[in-house]
Amino acid sequence: MPADKRATVHWEGAGKTGKGQISTETGALKDYPYGFASRFEDDKRGTNPEEILGAAHAGCLTMAFAFALEGAGFTAKSIDTKAAVRLTQDGPGFKIDRIQLELEAVIPGIDEAKFQELAAGAKAGCPLSKALASVPEITLKATLRS
């Protein structure tokens, strides 16, 4: 059975004025800063949970798509995926109401219909898409490049 993947957060202070650090067990993030300004304003000196979620979702979709291609007898020359996660006001709190995924790939020998079928299946089947099923809108724009 696979082991749990772990991350930790340390926070000090109040919600708006406090500061936190996010770390992952792999060291990909090590005491990486985040706070109100990097989450709700345009401060690029830290990260936020939504951009980390977007990166995770894009990574999950990309890998699921690569496996789907392999199962159908194709190998991607390249796959590039972007995710945009929108955080909106929800009463006194906030919610994620939209995730937009964009996948562009170069895949020798595949036709557009098969490409779209496999991309849609990867979106539906990736573990993070399943975990995020409560998000009202998750879209995928898949573009086949030559």
Cα separation values, 116 from 50, 64, 82, 97, 126, Å: 27, 14, 17, 24, 15
Examine the domain organization and report whether 76 and 24 are in the same domain: no
What is the DSSP secondary structure assignment for residue 31, as one 8-state letter? Answer: S
Per-residue pLDDT tens listing for the chain (146 residues): 788 999 999 999 999 999 999 999 999 999 999 999 999 998 999 999 999 999 999 999 999 999 999 999 999 999 999 999 999 999 999 999 999 999 999 999 999 999 999 999 999 999 999 999 999 999 999 999 98
Q: What is the pLDDT of residue 26?
A: 94
Residue pair 16/35 in contact (Cβ under 8 Å)? The answer is: no
Core vs surface per residue 110-124: b (16+ CB within 10 A) or e: beeebbeebbeebbe
| Token duo for residue 118 | 């496999």
Task: Write out the residue range of the structural domain in which residue 108 sits.
Answer: 49-145
User: Has residue 2 been placed in a domain?
Assistant: no
Give the global pTM. 0.93
User: Has residue 1 been placed in a domain?
Assistant: no
